[in-house]
Amino acid sequence: MITIEVNGKRVEAEKGEMLLAALRRAGIHVPTLCNLSNLMPSGACRLCVVEVEGQRNLVPSCAFPVAEGMKVQTHSRRAVRARKTIIELLLADHPDDCLYCVRNRNCQLQSLAEELGVRERRYSGARHDYKVDTSSPSIVRDPAKCILCGRCVRMCEEVQGVSAIDFVGRGSSTRVGTAFEQGLNVSSCINCGQCIMVCPTGALREQSYIKEVLDAINDPERIAVVQHAPAVSVTLAEELGLRGGTDICGQMTAALRALGFQRVFDTAFTADLTIMEEGSELAHRVATGGVLPMFTSCSPGWIKFVETFYPECLPNLSTCKSPQQMMGAIIKSYFAQREGVDPSKIFVASIMPCTAKKFEAGRPEHGHDGLSDVDAVLTTRELARMIRMRGIDIQSLVPQGADTPFGERSTAGKLFGASGGVMEAAIRTAHFLLTGREMTNLKVQEVRGLDGVKEARVRIGDLELGVAVVSGLGNARRLLEEIRAGRSDLHFIEVMTCPGGCVGGGGQPIGADLEAVAGRMKALYLIDRDEPVRVSHRNEQVQRLYREFLGKPLSDKAHHLLHTHYVKREVIA
Amino acid sequence: MTAQIDQILRKHPEARRDSLIPILQEVQDAQGYLSREAVVKVGEFLSLPASKVYGVATFYNQFRFQPVGRYHIQLCRGTACHVKGSADVLDAVCRLLNITPGQTARDGLFSLEVVACIGACGLAPVININGEFFAGVTRDSVAEIVDSYRRKADPDGQDH
Ligand code: SF4
Ligand code: SF4
Ligand code: SF4
Ligand code: FES
């Protein structure tokens, strides 16, 4: 520990850390733009400048290490003025679009301008006539609103290991773009939306399908049904301005009915179904000497990542569709049959924590007889928008339950929302399927938590399995490289595209820190602790679905409806 | 094309990321521009994603991503030419050909490159088309020059 002096007060700092970290801990707010926690500082925007005694120029606190006895002024006239000028320059060529902007009232540029008291346009720069890139089913890029902070570029490269985008050109014509500045849809982008999560402005947003969903709800010819993913009920509250880390599943269900959906199904039901299929697939691979390690397949960004960068690993991917797609498939088959309706009249919407799910729903593999399994995907953010648009006060709603036949779920299915959850659910059921007994302690501590890589050896009867749980595709890439280099002690690997899993997905509330993501995770684990049905194989409605319709796991019908295949992708990567 | 790229890469067995620019220069010298294939291949060779290679290459004016046209126009933007109105000439050429510097017109006839200083300041503003210099060009004269090359390419004027 060393001591520095900030604004005349003593502040403790750790040797070697950057000044910004010490300031934050001491509760001193210095604004930042290019800085991303957990990544090396780039020092590009200079918004975080402060005065340090003995330094002639202002220094960027995010990239300036502390030193014993250092004297710092964070809000001197000079520092504040410099920051204000930076913002004014950023605004010089910025469109005056706030009223129409998806980030209105949740925009860092806007709040910085407000905070620094920008009240007039002092500079005005030439506008570029950039085109909005709407080519991707998941992400919309509006370069006119980009302030070149570089956060998306670093997220895509350093956290996700994808590098679909980078800075292009130089000087005043610098912009962010893909290789050869093609549309994102033909780039190596895997649609994760993590770039949106770090973008301070409206330059990146999700491709929205609210209109399609409203059209379907209002169409008397169609039956609009909706499913919601496990991670949504523990994050929606945040997006609606309520307390983070609270589960509002019952009220959300009520809100979905109020919005006009005729049925509300819980995607955790098909998460349980996924466990039945995927668990059986793993057991089959182990017993027959099939391709191992097997990778989970519920995260569509990860799937496209393997298809693009590691096509030789396609046989390692479980052939199971994701819970979203399984739900769509059984709605348009079993449910349609049961209700006696024409499947083409059913419109399946899903509420997902994820932008890649929008891409997944449009994959040509995911449909039957010319009908897509899922018709439109909305993110948590879009659902909140619809709720506000309709003036629904979610807190005043009486909690309701989901509809049969796909409303029941185990808590294992609910755990899919957190990194490690699929693994934990799979281990619980694999144990039962292979030994005929339940585990004595269902909690698998080693695969819980926010770490990007978690590994364990699991004993099931006479079998010892090596398992790994990875989130964030940069971590996945490193593990795949180990496997490429000959590592062979792993049997089953769960990969979630987004750091922390779906609770940290690209469709979730923007602006959450690690603590908030941990809170969302905790909410899921509390549900698991407190409810009675904690294993997927005890989901009665899933068992009934097998009895009445699918036969047994991996049956022909199950294969036809619930499994899929993958394609090698030729993109410029 | 592919073989040529491979051949260049083979000359750099020890190459690291800081060899990116020299390698790209060699490829461009050999092929006249950086094709998609070249960008991807050089990237793979240096373990760099294509977006990064493209991003770095666009930082430098010297790289182009389309093959040069039959007539390659180099337009000087050095100080002397600037003072004598080269910006206006540049604007005129861009409008005439409907391209920006670094691009090649759809019909493949013309391509445009902006160069720092050709070293012919006495002739400012100056352009160079396939090695032939034109001195003291103006908005109007450059249109005539471009037209004369169009006629050269298509003497009977059938396409006009
Ligand atoms: S990005 Fe921010 S500042 Fe720009 S228009 Fe949108 S809300 Fe306004
Ligand atoms: S969506 Fe993901 S992969 Fe695509 S550009 Fe954004 S961060 Fe990169
Ligand atoms: S798109 Fe957003 S995150 Fe990316 S550089 Fe621009 S402002 Fe920053
Ligand atoms: S936040 Fe420190 S330089 Fe950008």
Q: Does residue A178 fall inside a structural domain?
A: no
Distance CA B104, CA B69 (A): 6
Radius of gyration of chain A (CA): 25
Per-residue model confidence as pLDDT tens digits over B99-146: 998 899 988 999 998 888 888 888 889 999 998 999 999 999 999 999
Counting every residue written for chain B, the total comes to 160
Do A169 and B53 make contact, defined as CB atoms within 8 angstroms?
no
Q: In the structure encoding, which two tokens stand for residue A81, read together?
A: 């003025």
Determine, yes or no, domain membership for A40.
Answer: yes
Final residue belonging to a domain, choices A47, A65, A88: A88
Q: Is A409 inside any structural domain?
A: yes
What ipTM goes with this model? 0.89
Closest by CA position to B34, among listed B59, B12, B62 = B62
CATH number for the domain including A27?
3.10.20.740
Q: Give the whole-angstrom CA distance, residue A402 versus residue A416.
A: 18
- Residue A107 has a pLDDT of 97
Helices (H), A37-132: 77-92, 108-115
Whether residue A104 has its Cβ less than 6 Å from ligand 1: yes
Side chain identity at A63, as an amino acid letter? A
Domains of chain B, earliest start first: 2-59 (1.10.10), 71-152 (3.40.30.10)
Q: Is B55 on the interface with A (CB under 8 A)?
A: yes
Work out the mean pLDDT of chain B and round it to a whole number: 90
**What's CA A59's distance to the chain center, in Å?**
35
Last residue of a domain, one of A43, A69, A88: A88
Q: Which residues pair with A465 in a beta bridge?
A: A458
Q: What is the CATH number of the domain that holds A351?
A: 3.40.50.1780
Q: Is residue A161 part of a domain?
A: no
Would you place residue A448 in the very low, low, confident or very high pLDDT band (cuts 50, 70, 90)? Answer: very high
Report chain B residues whose CB lies below 8 A from the CB of A169. 58-59
Res A263 pLDDT > 80: yes
Q: Is the dihedral of CA A65, A69, A70, A74 positive or negative?
A: positive
User: Mean pLDDT of all residues in chain A?
Assistant: 96
Whether residue A445 lies inside any domain: the answer is yes
pLDDT digits (tens, 9 = 90+) for A36-53: 988 888 889 999 999 999
| Residue B27 CB neighbours (<10 A) | 24
pLDDT tens sequence across A159-170:
999 999 999 999
Q: Looking at the partner chain, which of A167, A169, A573 has a beta carbon nearest the beta carbon of B50?
A: A573
Q: Which domain holds residue A17?
A: 2-88
Name the closest-CA residue to atom 3, ligand 1.
Answer: A110
Q: How far is the CA of A343 from the centre of ligand 1 (A)?
A: 42
- Say yes or no to pLDDT of A156 above 80: yes
Q: Are residues A82 and A216 in the same domain?
A: no
- Residue A487 vs residues A238, A478, A490, B45, B89: alpha-carbon distances, Å: 41, 12, 8, 24, 62
A397 and A255 Cβ atoms separated by less than 8 Å: yes
Per DSSP, what are the bridge partners of residue A10? A5
Query: What is the Å distance from ligand 4's center to A60 Cα?
Result: 6
Residue A447 forms part of a structural domain:
yes
Strand A139-141 and strand A9-13: pairing?
unpaired
Select from A224, A536, A548, A280 the least CA-distant residue to A405.
Answer: A548
- 3-class DSSP assignment, residue A286: helix
Q: Tell me the C-alpha to C-alpha distance, in Å, between residue B82 and each of A341, B78, B87, B124, B146.
A: 73, 6, 6, 8, 20
pLDDT at B159: 53
pLDDT at A360 > cutoff 90? yes
Give the pLDDT mean for A382-406.
Answer: 97
Q: What's the pLDDT tens digit per position in A515-559?
A: 999 999 999 999 999 999 999 999 999 999 999 999 999 999 999
Are residues A81 and A217 both part of a single domain? no
In a domain, A199, yes or no: no
Nearest atom in ligand 4 to the alpha carbon of residue A45 is 4
Domain count, chain A: 2
Say how many Å lie between the CA of residue A40 and the centre of ligand 3. 17
Residue where the block lists tokens 């320059």 = A89
- With an 8 Å Cβ cutoff, is A165 touching chain B? yes
Of A56, A88, A120, which closes a domain? Answer: A88
Token pair recorded at residue A179: 């290789």
